[in-house]
């Protein structure tokens, strides 16, 4: 599983910046047949790597490499632009995006389905709105949902639900028992929450070209531009769509 069609799958590329840049360069030179062979390898081994990553650092980094390849092969910017230009409802676009990614990695039966992801977003916004009725500051909280859940690569009872908040109060809210229980009931192992005052997303959009911003009064999809050759994402939003949940 370490090599396919001349492309070296070095698990260290998942954490070593120099090796990762070389991997991006190698991806840019893949022929269509090599790219297809690589995606087939990922589909056959994705579930095994997810299961191993709980105890194996090499598997954690290899999954990151798999995700980089998937970002390149399924360009979110093109997908969302085409679907939104056709007038498709943003909620339906997100659902189809999640399903498309699940199919790409063979998670049709073991993945957390799109409807459950939408339910999680609806639950978070509803609870923030209720909180804001009692706490004025909660009106200005931002909760960012990113990673495998939004990009169709979550596995039932094996994947975290990744969020980032812009205040410590919002972080505590996301770590509260009602929120944790509601998210876990959908098939996630736990809510993995981090706090970052200015919400710099440069370290997450590399593997998560689609992220969700949740506030009391609005939920937005933000999609980042993807380089079609390397799969690298820019740090500037390419498309923003409002979700009516």
Per-residue model confidence as pLDDT tens digits over 85-142: 999 999 999 999 999 999 999 999 999 999 999 999 999 999 999 999 999 999 999 9
How many domains is the chain partitioned into structurally? 2
Asked if residue 241 has pLDDT above 50, the reply is: yes
Q: 21 and 139 in one domain? A: no
Among 51, 73, 95, which residue terminates a domain? 73
Say if pTM beats, i.e. exceeds, 0.85: yes
Q: 231 and 155 in one domain? A: yes
Asked if residue 4 has pLDDT above 60, the reply is: no
Among 18, 52, 73, which residue terminates a domain? 73
Residue 54 lies in a domain: yes
Residue 95 lies in a domain: no
Closest CA to 63 of 42, 44, 34: 42
- Chain centroid to Cα 228, Å, comes to 18
Residue 18 lies in a domain: yes
Among 73, 96, 126, which residue terminates a domain? 73
């Amino acid at each position: 599983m370490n090599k396919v069609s001349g492309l070296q799958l070095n698990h260290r590329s998942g954490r070593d910046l120099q090796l990762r840049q070389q991997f991006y360069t190698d991806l840019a030179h893949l022929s269509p047949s090599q790219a297809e062979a690589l995606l087939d390898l990922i589909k056959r081994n994705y579930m095994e790597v997810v299961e191993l990553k709980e105890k194996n650092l090499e598997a954690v980094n290899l999954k990151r490499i798999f995700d980089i390849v998937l970002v390149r092969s399924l360009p979110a910017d093109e997908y969302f632009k085409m679907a939104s230009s056709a007038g498709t409802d943003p909620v339906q676009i997100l659902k189809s995006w999640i399903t498309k990614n699940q199919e790409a990695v063979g998670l049709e039966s073991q993945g957390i389905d799109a409807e459950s992801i939408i339910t999680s977003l609806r639950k978070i916004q509803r609870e923030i709105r209720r909180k804001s009725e009692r706490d004025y500051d909660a009106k200005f909280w931002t909760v960012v949902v990113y990673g495998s859940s939004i990009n169709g690569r979550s596995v039932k009872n094996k994947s975290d639900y990744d969020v980032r908040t812009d205040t410590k109060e919002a972080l505590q809210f996301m770590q509260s028992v009602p929120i944790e229980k509601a998210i876990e009931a959908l098939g996630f192992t736990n809510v993995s929450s981090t706090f970052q005052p200015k919400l710099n997303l440069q370290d997450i959009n590399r593997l998560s070209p689609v992220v969700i911003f949740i506030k009391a009064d609005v939920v937005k999809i933000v999609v980042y531009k993807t380089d079609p050759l390397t799969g690298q994402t820019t740090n500037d939003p390419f498309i923003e769509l409002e979700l009516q949940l």
